[in-house]
C-alpha cells in the first residue's frame, strides 16, 4: 500500500517472479545467457542504489521477495507470472508448482498465474485442466517465444491455441497475460509481431488479453490493436523503468498509451526481480507529464489515473474489491508486521518468513 | 564521427577514412541508427587485405535475423573497399553465433543458413524497417517544422528545394517570407537520404512531405498522420534506449559475464 497525502493507494504488481537461475539449476549455455541478459536489463535501467550483486540476482529467495514487494515496495498484491523455460533450467525458471508455495503461505498477497503451451496439443489440454483443478490458478501468462523441441515459438491464433482458449472459457479463466516484448524468434517474421493478439482478442471477446511490455518495440501495432479491441490491455513491465534513465521518453510513452487506450486499460508491473517495485512506484507517484507533452497529446497523468494504473485496473480484471481486500491484508502476517513497524515509528525490519506456515 | 569509432582502427590501416565512412552507413535496421554510433563494433583489424571485425551486441538474445543483417552489411561495406579482399565477422557471445558466423563469412543467404529454423528472406524485413525508419525520420522533421512556427498549410506546400543547409542548421523558405531556421540539418538530411533509399521523388520541385506511396499530404490528413507517425518514432526509440542501456551495462559488468565467442580484444 502506498500512502499519498494520507490517502491509501491500492497497488497490484501485475508482473513479478520468484525465479531460480542459480548455477546448479542452469542448463548450459542458455541458462546462463538468459539470466545474464536479464541482469543487463537490471543494471542498465535500475538506479544505482537499487542494483543487486549478480549472485543475488540469480537466486534471491522468498525473504528478499517479501521484503522487496510488501515490506518496502508498497505492493499489496503480486501477480506471480510463471515462466517455465525447462530447456534452460533443470527445474524450470519459475513454474506454477514452485510459485504455489508462495501463494499457499500468503494466500491474499498473491495471484497465481499458470500457463499453457498449445504445442502439447491434446495431452496438454488434459494437463491444463488438471493444473486448474489442482492449483488456485487466477490467470495465465503465455510466453509465445518459448523453445520446445526444435520449435522456436507459437502464435496465439494457432488452431491448437484456440482449443486452449475455449477451455479457458469453460474453466472460467479470463485474464491472459501475453509476453510481447523483446524476443528472439520466430526468425522469418518480424520477431515482435503482435498481430496474433488481434485475432485471439476478436475471436474470444470474453477473455482479457494483457499485453506485457506493451508490445515494445511494436508499440504502434499494439496501440492500434488495443484501440480496436475492448479486451486488450497494456502491461507496463519493461516500459516502467524508463522513468529513471529517460523520464521524458517515459512521459511520451505514457501520453501515447493514455491517448490511444485511455486510463482504464493500463496495468502496472515491476517485472520483479529484473527491477524492484519500490523506486518504480515512488517515481511514478511523483511523476508529472511535462506541459508540452500534455498539450500535444491532450492527456494528463492525474492522481486518479495513477491509482487506476497502480492497482484499480488490475483489481477490476481479477475481481478484487480494494477496500475489502485491504482489510484482509491488514490481518495477515505481513500486515501485522507492517502495522507493528509503523507503531514503533521505526523503519520496517525484514519480515521473518520462517514464522509463516503454509495454509492447508 | 564518434570518438570510439575513430579509435577502432589502428592509425596505419590503409583506406582508414573510407572504411569508417562505409561503416558509418551500416545501420541497425531495427533502431535505424549506425552500428558505429551504437557501439556495436568492438574492434576492427586489417592485416594484408584481410579484415576481422568483432561485434559486441547488447545481449546474447538479440534477434538472430537482425544480427545477420548487420553482419552481412558490414561485410559487404568492407568488401567494397579496394584494399580489403576478405572479411571475417565475429559476433561474440550470441546464442546463434556459430550459425551466423559460418553463414555470413561464407556469403550464404540468411534463408539458407537458418533453413532448419524457417529462416525466410530478409528482404521483406529490411524493407519494413526502412519504411518504419522513414516514418520516424519524417516525424522528427515535421516536429522541427512545427516548432519553428510553420502551419499545416505551410508544411503541406513545401518543396524539397525550399530547404537549404547552412552549417549545422536547416533553413526553410515559405512563399513570400524570409527563410526560417527549422532545427538541425541532420534531421532533414536523414529524412531526404531515406527518401532516396526508398526510391521516393527527391527532385527540388517535388513535395517535401509525402506518405510512403509518395502522395503529398493534405492539410486535412496531416494531424492524424502525425499522430500515427509519432507512435512509430516512439516505438523505434524504445529499442534504442533499451539496447544502449543494456550494452552499457554489459560493458560495465563484463567481469560478471563469460564471453564465449572467440573475440580477440583489440585496442579500443
What per-residue confidence (pLDDT) applies to A48?
A: 95
Query: Are residues B88 and B38 part of one domain?
Result: yes
Q: What is the DSSP string of A191-206?
A: TT--HHHHHHHHH-TT
Closest partner residue to B120 among A39, A188, A245, by Cβ? A188
Do A249 and B237 lie within an 8 Å CB cutoff?
Answer: yes
Query: Are residues B247 and B116 part of one domain?
Result: yes
- Over range A121-142, report the average pLDDT: 97
pLDDT value at A20 more than 70: yes
| Dist. CA A223–CA A256, nearest whole Å | 8
Do A187 and B118 lie within an 8 Å CB cutoff?
Answer: yes
Query: Are residues B156 and B96 part of one domain?
Result: no
Query: Are residues B114 and B79 part of one domain?
Result: yes
β-sheet bridge partners, residue A211: A178, A234
Do A219 and B128 lie within an 8 Å CB cutoff?
Answer: no
What per-residue confidence (pLDDT) applies to A187?
A: 45
Query: Are residues B104 and B149 part of one domain?
Result: no
Whether residue B266 is contained in a domain is answered as no
| CATH number for position B38 | 3.30.300.130
| Positions of chain B with pLDDT lower than 70, given as ranges | 1-12, 117-119, 250-268
**Predicted confidence (pLDDT) per residue in A48-82, tens digit:** 999 999 999 999 999 999 999 999 999 999 999 99
Please state whether beta strands A2-4 and A12-16 pair in parallel, antiparallel, or not at all (unpaired): unpaired
What per-residue confidence (pLDDT) applies to B239?
A: 80
Do B249 and A223 lie within an 8 Å CB cutoff?
Answer: no
Please state whether beta strands A175-179 and A137-142 pair in parallel, antiparallel, or not at all (unpaired): parallel
**ipTM, interface predicted TM-score of the complex:** 0.87
B24 exposure class (CB count in 10 Å sphere: 0-12, 13-18, 19+):
middle
Band of pLDDT at residue A192, cut at 50, 70 and 90: low
Question: Which residue in A53, A56, A151, A182 has the most chain B C-beta atoms within 10 A of its own C-beta, making it the best mutation to test that interface?
Answer: A182
Do A37 and B114 lie within an 8 Å CB cutoff?
Answer: no
Domains and CATH numbers, chain A: 9-355 (3.20.20.140)
What per-residue confidence (pLDDT) applies to A347?
A: 67
What per-residue confidence (pLDDT) applies to B267?
A: 25
Q: Which residues contact A338 (CB under 8 A, 6 or more apart)?
A: A70, A71, A348
Query: Are residues B45 and B146 part of one domain?
Result: no
What per-residue confidence (pLDDT) applies to B11?
A: 57
Query: Are residues B14 and B91 part of one domain?
Result: yes
| Dist. CA B117–CA B133, nearest whole Å | 27
Please state whether beta strands A2-4 and A7-9 pair in parallel, antiparallel, or not at all (unpaired): antiparallel
Whether residue B263 is contained in a domain is answered as no
CB proximity under 8 Å: A 166-225 to B: 182-191, 216-220, 223
Query: Are residues B177 and B203 part of one domain?
Result: yes
What per-residue confidence (pLDDT) applies to B12?
A: 63
Q: Which residue has the higher pLDDT, A154 or A344?
A: A154
Whether residue B261 is contained in a domain is answered as no
How far does the CA of residue A164 sit from the closest CA of chain B (Å)?
Answer: 25
Closest partner residue to B256 among A41, A54, A190, by Cβ? A54
Whether residue B262 is contained in a domain is answered as no
- Asked whether B63 and B31 are in contact (CB, 8 A), the reply is no
**Predicted confidence (pLDDT) per residue in B178-221, tens digit:** 999 999 999 999 999 999 999 999 999 999 999 999 999 999 99
| Dist. CA A29–CA A35, nearest whole Å | 11
Do B231 and A41 lie within an 8 Å CB cutoff?
Answer: no
Cell reading at B20: 569508417
Set of chain B residues whose Cβ sits within 8 Å of the Cβ of A184: 61-64, 95
**Predicted confidence (pLDDT) per residue in A255-305, tens digit:** 999 999 999 999 999 999 999 999 999 999 999 999 999 999 999 999 999
Query: Cell 507459437 maps to which residue?
Result: A154
Whether residue B268 is contained in a domain is answered as no
Q: Which residues contact B27 (CB under 8 A, 6 or more apart)?
A: B33, B34, B35, B70, B73, B133
Do A36 and B256 lie within an 8 Å CB cutoff?
Answer: yes
Which residue in chain B is spatially nearest to A219 when comparing CA positions? B235
Set of chain B residues whose Cβ sits within 8 Å of the Cβ of A32: 258
Query: Are residues B183 and B211 part of one domain?
Result: yes
What per-residue confidence (pLDDT) applies to A354?
A: 85
Domain extent, residue B213, equals 126-235
How far does the CA of residue B182 sit from the closest CA of chain A (Å)?
Answer: 18
Pick the closest to residue A31 from B254, B95, B97, B55 (CA basis): B95
What per-residue confidence (pLDDT) applies to B62?
A: 83
Query: Are residues B154 and B105 part of one domain?
Result: no
Contact status of A292 with chain B (Cβ, < 8 Å): no
The length of chain B is 268
How far does the CA of residue A357 sit from the closest CA of chain B (Å)?
Answer: 37
The length of chain A is 360
| Dist. CA A89–CA A19, nearest whole Å | 10
Whether residue B264 is contained in a domain is answered as no
Query: Are residues B225 and B161 part of one domain?
Result: yes
| Dist. CA A5–CA A306, nearest whole Å | 14
- Order of strands, sheet of A77-81, starting from the edge strand that comes earlier in the sequence: A12-16, A77-81, A110-114, A137-142, A175-179, A208-212, A232-235, A266-267
CA–CA distances in Å: residue B122 to residues A145, A149, A238, B59: 20, 25, 28, 21
Closest partner residue to B64 among A32, A37, A184, by Cβ? A184
Considering A19-33, A293-307, A335-349, the range whose residues carry the highest mean pLDDT is: A293-307
Query: Are residues B91 and B195 part of one domain?
Result: no
What per-residue confidence (pLDDT) applies to A186?
A: 44
- Asked whether A321 and A347 are in contact (CB, 8 A), the reply is no
| CATH number for position B151 | 3.90.15
Per the structure, how many domains does chain B have? 2
Whether residue B184 is contained in a domain is answered as yes
Using DSSP's 3-state secondary structure scheme, residue A221 falls into helix
Whether residue B133 is contained in a domain is answered as yes
What per-residue confidence (pLDDT) applies to B94?
A: 87
Amino acid at each position: 500500500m502506498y500512502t499519498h497525502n494520507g490517502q491509501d493507494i491500492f497497488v497490484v504488481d501485475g508482473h513479478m517472479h520468484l525465479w531460480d537461475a542459480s548455477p546448479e539449476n542452469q542448463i548450459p549455455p542458455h541458462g546462463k545467457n538468459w539470466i545474464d541478459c536479464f541482469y543487463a536489463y537490471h543494471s542498465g535501467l535500475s538506479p544505482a542504489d537499487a542494483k543487486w550483486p549478480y549472485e543475488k540476482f540469480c537466486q534471491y529467495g522468498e525473504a528478499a521477495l517479501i521484503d522487496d514487494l510488501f515490506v518496502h515496495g508498497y505492493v499489496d498484491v503480486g501477480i506471480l507470472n510463471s515462466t517455465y523455460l525447462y530447456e534452460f533450467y533443470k527445474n524450470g525458471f519459475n513454474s506454477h508448482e514452485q510459485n504455489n508455495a508462495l501463494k499457499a503461505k500468503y494466500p491474499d498477497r498473491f495471484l497465481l498465474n499458470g500457463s499453457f503451451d498449445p504445442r502439447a496439443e491434446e495431452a496438454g489440454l488434459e494437463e491444463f485442466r488438471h493444473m486448474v483443478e489442482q492449483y488456485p490458478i487466477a490467470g495465465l501468462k503465455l510466453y509465445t517465444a518459448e523453445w520446445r523441441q526444435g520449435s522456436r515459438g507459437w502464435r496465439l491464433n494457432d488452431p491448437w491455441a484456440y482449443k486452449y482458449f475455449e477451455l479457458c472459457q469453460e474453466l472460467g479463466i479470463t485474464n491472459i497475460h501475453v509476453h510481447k516484448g523483446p524476443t528472439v524468434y520466430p526468425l522469418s517474421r518480424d520477431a515482435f509481431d503482435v498481430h496474433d493478439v488481434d485475432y485471439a482478442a476478436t475471436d474470444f471477446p470474453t477473455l482479457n488479453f494483457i499485453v506485457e511490455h506493451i508490445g515494445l518495440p511494436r508499440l504502434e501495432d499494439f496501440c492500434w490493436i488495443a484501440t480496436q479491441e475492448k479486451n486488450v490491455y497494456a502491461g507496463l513491465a519493461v516500459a516502467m523503468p524508463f522513468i529513471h534513465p529517460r523520464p521524458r521518453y517515459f512521459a511520451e510513452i505514457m501520453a501515447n498509451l493514455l491517448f490511444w487506450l485511455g486510463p482504464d486499460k493500463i496495468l502496472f508491473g515491476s517485472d520483479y526481480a529484473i527491477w524492484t517495485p519500490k523506486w518504480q512506484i515512488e517515481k511514478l507517484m511523483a511523476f508529472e507529464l511535462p506541459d508540452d507533452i500534455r498539450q500535444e497529446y491532450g492527456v494528463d497523468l492525474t492522481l486518479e489515473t495513477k491509482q487506476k494504473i497502480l492497482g484499480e485496473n488490475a483489481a477490476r480484471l481479477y475481481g478484487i474489491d480494494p477496500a475489502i481486500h485491504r482489510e484482509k491484508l491488514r490481518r495477515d502476517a505481513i500486515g501485522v508486521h507492517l502495522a507493528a513497524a509503523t507503531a514503533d515509528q521505526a523503519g520496517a525490519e525484514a519480515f521473518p518468513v520462517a514464522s509463516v506456515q503454509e495454509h492447508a | 564521427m564518434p570518438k570510439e569509432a575513430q579509435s577502432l582502427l589502428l592509425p596505419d590501416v590503409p583506406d582508414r577514412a573510407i572504411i569508417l565512412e562505409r561503416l558509418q552507413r551500416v545501420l541497425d535496421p531495427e533502431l535505424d541508427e549506425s552500428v558505429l554510433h551504437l557501439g556495436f563494433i568492438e574492434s576492427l583489424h586489417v592485416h594484408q587485405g584481410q579484415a576481422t571485425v568483432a561485434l559486441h551486441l547488447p545481449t546474447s538474445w538479440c534477434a538472430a535475423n537482425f544480427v545477420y543483417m548487420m553482419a552481412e552489411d558490414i561485410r559487404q561495406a568492407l568488401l567494397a573497399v579496394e584494399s580489403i579482399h576478405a572479411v571475417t565477422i565475429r559476433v561474440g557471445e550470441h546464442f546463434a553465433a556459430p550459425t551466423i558466423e559460418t553463414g555470413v563469412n561464407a556469403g550464404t543467404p540468411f534463408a539458407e543458413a537458418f533453413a532448419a529454423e524457417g529462416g525466410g528472406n530478409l528482404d521483406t524485413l529490411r524493407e519494413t524497417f526502412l519504411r518504419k525508419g522513414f516514418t520516424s525520420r519524417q516525424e522528427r522533421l515535421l516536429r522541427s517544422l512545427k516548432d519553428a512556427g510553420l502551419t499545416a498549410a505551410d508544411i503541406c506546400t513545401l518543396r524539397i528545394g525550399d530547404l537549404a543547409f547552412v552549417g549545422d542548421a536547416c533553413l526553410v523558405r515559405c512563399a513570400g517570407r524570409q527563410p526560417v531556421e527549422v532545427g538541425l540539418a541532420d534531421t532533414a538530411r536523414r529524412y531526404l537520404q531515406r527518401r532516396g533509399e526508398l526510391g521516393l521523388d527527391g527532385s527540388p520541385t517535388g513535395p517535401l512531405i509525402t506518405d510512403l506511396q509518395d502522395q503529398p499530404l493534405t492539410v486535412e490528413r496531416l494531424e492524424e498522420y502525425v499522430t500515427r507517425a509519432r507512435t512509430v518514432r516512439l516505438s523505434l526509440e524504445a529499442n534504442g534506449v533499451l539496447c544502449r542501456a543494456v550494452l552499457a551495462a554489459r560493458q560495465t559488468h563484463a567481469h560478471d559475464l563469460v564471453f564465449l565467442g572467440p573475440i580477440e580484444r583489440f585496442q579500443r
